[in-house]
Homo-oligomer: A and B are copies of this chain.
């Protein structure tokens, strides 16, 4: 019953009916007072989600557009930057930095392992002449299901005193705690089709006062992604270009729902789903791709040994109407990924574990007793602590 297909991929994530209903309203003029009211309200809501008093600007575009905007508005040609790279998105920010002629030093970790904060500390401490202008990294590495220790790395950047922290929080914001001001983050990029529970098309870039100071010096060419225009119009509750008006309707409704649930509950739900997914996979005998202590709250990558990951994904999709994500690049066929980001309930997680377990049973590939995975996941989902 593919009409019942449910998304358990890292984005687009499932969208609540009330959000879809808001999305499907007749558009209004983007220069009207009604739209200004909407911009004002959603901006307040976005600040709440980012836990910041700084500016959060909305760009019609993907998360990549927001991240690129953060980079090209705070840096200048030839600037030295440190880029963390432990997955596909880390790789992408290296490409963006190089496309604009930045001097990139890459701090790598193997796919499936987290970036080492000490690597950043060392490089920053050795930079006596304060040549490093920014540290660019991904918080939740969607390609591998690894969460990087953004808080600790940000501390090292603050100790450096000059560099900015530019963070891809596309699959961490709204899934786990990212207190922008408290952690001293300078640029935080995110996208609507993730923790926001909104279809893709809007992205967000939050800027600290330090980031705005750097912006004044930035000489990289830009127009559509020029954040000075977004700031100028944001101060009038507006946008520099025609924004995706209907996605704003959806955004407001989704953020209303998030505010009702509360940040702590949202983070606890994602942590519970990560733990239940990890426990379920382990009980089934499926190895986790990343060590569970560094598992992303948004997505769990699993590396099955006896079956091609794409074959398993295909059966789960066709038989149980659940779309799991595949492995990217060299991980294709080796890894499948279970998204538990955004509008995901305990039922969804239990169902995903059950469907994977049932699929392996039907192929006679179950090592452990049938039901072990579901039992392990259910134990965590029903725990009073979680």
Contacts and interface: CB of A to CB of B under 8 A. Distances in A.
A222 B28 contact: no
Interface stretch (A60-68, A302-310, A373-381): A60-68
Given A199-B245, A200-B242, A28 B5 contact: yes
A100 B72 CA distance: 13
A201 interface: yes
A130 interface: no
A384 interface: no
Q: 4 tightest CB-CB pairs across the interface, nearest first?
A: A24-B24, A201-B244, A62-B241, A12-B27
Nearest to A32: B323
A30 B25 CA distance: 23
A30 B7 CA distance: 11
A26 B7 CA distance: 9
B247 A68 contact: no
Nearest to A247: B201
A179 interface: no
Nearest to A22: B24
A1 to B, nearest CB: 14
Contact of A20 (B25, B95, B200): B25
13 contacts: A11-B242, A12-B27, A21-B24, A60-B60, A61-B65, A64-B223, A95-B223, A193-B245, A199-B244, A200-B243, A200-B244, A201-B243, A201-B244
A191 B222 contact: no
**Is chain A's binding surface mostly helix, strand, loop or mixed?**
loop
Tally of this chain's copies: 2
A223 B64 CA distance: 9
A363 interface: no
A328 B191 CA distance: 31
Contacts of A101: 221
Contacts of A323: 29, 32
A366 B312 CA distance: 74
B27 A7 contact: yes
Contacts of A121: none
Contacts of A247: 201, 244
Contacts of A26: 7, 14-15, 20
A23 B11 CA distance: 17
A27 B12 CA distance: 7
A211 to B, nearest CB: 19
A241 to B, nearest CB: 4
A199 B250 CA distance: 13
A244 B242 contact: no
Name which of A65, A68, A246 has the most chain B CB atoms within 10 A of its CB: A246
Contacts of A225: 224
